Structure 1
Amino acid sequence: MEAAVFILSLVDCCALIFLAVYFVITLSDLECDYINARACCSKLNRRGVTLINCTWVVPELVGQALATVLMLVSLHWFVFLLNLPVAAWNMYRVWKVPMGNMGVFDPTEIHNRGQLKSHMKESMIKLGFHLLCFFIYLYSMILALINN
């Protein structure tokens, strides 16, 4: 059972690493002017006002919540407490989108007040966090398989 939890967490973490790399690449393309703000935000958010239609933001939220719940259910408290702030931040970020914005990434505001830099920094921090979690899950999975 414990090995299955860590295998599922490892697969989930791989998907979150892919999403973090995709966010970094897309935002760096915007920073280097390879794409415009509207194209960047439409890649990261689907066109529309509702957050239910978001392309990559909601799967990131669900993936992080899944990893957090898996650690809670399997009673791995350290990893649960490690994942909890990131899951809470993702929920806060999605729920605090101002009315009228396209989504978490809005083309009219992404260049204002250093939002592009903060989005880029957030994506890099998440990438580092998910890489750290990947190795923690990998070590825990190997340990669980050896103990069985």
Structure 2
Amino acid sequence: MGDLIAWLFSFFILLAVIALVLYQIMCFLDLETDYINPYELASKINNITLPEFITQGVLCCLHLITLHWIMFLLCLPYLCYNVNLYIHGHHLVYATEVFSELSREKKQRIFKLVYLAFLLFFSIFWMIWSIVDED
């Protein structure tokens, strides 16, 4: 039963990270269609980037603590990428440079979204596996 609870936590944490990345993509799309200005975009994105990184770190630690090694190893590259962004200061979006980096930033977040969907698929698979395995 404890394994199932861990997978449920993992599932909901992954949904939270996916929601944060989707919000960032929507903000960039709003900037492209001129619904928000670059200063609003920078403020919105910069306010939720750190919670996204922390939530992903919590997810990785959850898999480590619950000894789900495969999921831990699948989450680790994403966590290392986020830590690398944070260390080098590339996690922030600057209002003055946003239009020159718009394409790269969108592609980066779309790649993150695809990677998180991949992790969500595996999380659902392992959750179902743990339900079937208990019987």
- Compare the two structures and name the one with the higher helix fraction: 2
Out of 124, 128, 144, the position equivalent to 2:110 is: 124
* Structure 2 partner of 1:106: 94
Q: Is 1:141 the counterpart of 2:127 in the alignment?
A: yes
| SS of residue matched to 2:94 | coil
2:51 pairs with 59, 62, 76, which one? Answer: 59
Q: Once superposed, which parts of structure 1, at least 4 consecutive aligned residues long, lie more than 4 Å away?
A: none
The question of 1:70 aligning with 2:56 is answered no
Q: Which amino acid is 1:96 matched to? A: H
Give the whole-Å Cα distance in 2 for the aligned partners of 1:87 and 1:4: 23
Normalised by the length of structure 2, the TM-score is 0.90
Percent identity of paired positions between Structure 1 and Structure 2? 29
Shift in Å, 1:119 = 0.9
Gaps of 5+ in 1: 46-54
**1:80 equivalent among 49, 72, 91:** 72
Normalised by the size of structure 1, how large is the TM-score? 0.83
Q: CA deviation at 1:120?
A: 0.3
Partner of residue 89, structure 1: 81
Q: Could you tell which deviates more after superposition, 103-112 or 86-95?
A: 103-112
RMSD: 1.5
Q: Which amino acid aligns with 1:66?
A: V
Cα distance, 1:14 vs. partner? 0.6
C-alpha distance after superposition, 1:29-77 (max 9, x if no partner):
11222221111111112xxxxxxxxx21111011111111111222222
CA shift, 1:21, in A, is: 0.8
Q: Where in structure 2 are the equivalents of 1:12-31 lying within 5 Å?
A: 12-31=13-32
The alignment partner of 1:56 has SS state of helix
How many residue pairs are counted as aligned between the two chains?
A: 133
Unaligned runs of 5+ in 2: none
